Amino acid sequence: MVPYNPFDPDVLADPYPHYARLRAEDPVHWLESLSTYVVTRYDDVVALLRQPNLFSSAKGMGDLLSLVFGSGKGGGKARATGASAVSRSLIASDPPVHTDLRRLVSRAFTPRAIAELESRIRQIAKELVGGLVERGEGDFVADLAYPLPVIVIAELLGIPTERRADFKRWSDAIVSAFTLSADAATTRTQAIEMIDYFIEIVAQRRANPGKDMISILVTKGADGEDALTLDELVGFSTLLLVAGNETSTNLLGNSMRIFFERPDVLARVREDRSLLPQMLEEVLRFDAPVQCLFRATTAPAELSGVELPAGVRVMPVIGSANRDDRRFPDAHRFDLDRRSADHVGFGQGVHLCLGAPLARLEARIAMETLFNATGTIELAGDIVGTTSFLLRGCTSMPLKVDAA
């Protein structure tokens, strides 16, 4: 059996050589520390993600997140709602519950709805980049990659941006549950505080609806459509907060890291901005913001010749699938000219990330704005990476910039 420890600092720093060995020698690897089968080949990961009835999100992501939010026993309404909201969120539900939920919340993510956000996202990006350029130095993550998606999400939900510090604290706490330094008690306390806040926000919108996304979902019942329950609204809001900002932040950080590692790529994209969309797709393949997910078998299954009994947890590794040479020639090489439309950076099947178009739009606008406002961009210190095996990105990236 191939040794593999996702918490090992060397693995966290660069998991890809370890994924390659797993794909070659042990593609369905039993990981005792997490009581899960680690699935690393592209075809297996796609097959797994496209069969939600056989590989359950509710029993995979749902059961794990329930540990983060609490069992629902004691601790007041927030604890009970937190556990229930997990089971009624998109990431942790199966059809037909997932089908109904996605139909209801997808109205907030139509192409038209996303397109209408572009001018406001450009305005936010211009303000953030302007501050960075005026100072001449800063941190790419703290000054742009993190605040941009958080401000956008806060405005979508109709929440004051001065709560940004709370957003970061709550989001960091949830993500920390998947790190070696996880503190279950602290994570749960922060999760319950977040749930409390969104329970209050939902109550406010029901009493006095506005034009924000929560208000739209609350008031649709008055239009004769199905209305979301409190659990569903809280589950949607927390998922959008955590997944929305983490995915976009990490996509931006990983993209900028590629630019510093590959000056030739940076030069081409700065010269021809039309290359940005395909550059971002290659980043999603090459260094995916979400590295893995969790599912559980509902019946006996087989992957790469390995028999899986019913009721076992499996971990499809997106980051490994996207580096599988069986699907992507020279997969270890970042290729700006590669057409990576079939990568699984945003998942596959019914759980394909609903917010993917928004993340792509935010990343493209952020990079365009940064390039338009600067003449040179230099790395001014060490890049600090995330310490979660679930997510991959950067937590700090010091920069020096000159105005265009």
Q: Taking Cα atoms as reference points, which of 243, 234, 251, 245 lies closest to residue 150?
A: 245
Single out the catalytic residue among 243, 296, 363, 373.
243
Single out the catalytic residue among 353, 363, 373, 394.
353
Residue 67 to residue 177: CA distance in whole angstroms: 9
**Annotation says 246 is catalytic:** yes
Neighbours of 168 (CB within 10 A): 16
Residue 314 to residue 262: CA distance in whole angstroms: 35
**Annotation says 255 is catalytic:** no
**Annotation says 362 is catalytic:** yes
**Annotation says 191 is catalytic:** no
The first and second tokens of residue 374, run together, are 């600067």
Single out the catalytic residue among 57, 331, 359, 362.
362
CA end-to-end span of the chain: 54
Single out the catalytic residue among 246, 282, 292, 296.
246
Q: Taking Cα atoms as reference points, which of 397, 385, 390, 269 lies closest to residue 334?
A: 269
**Annotation says 83 is catalytic:** no
Single out the catalytic residue among 248, 255, 320, 388.
248
Any idea which residues carry the catalytic annotation?
A: 243, 246, 248, 353, 362
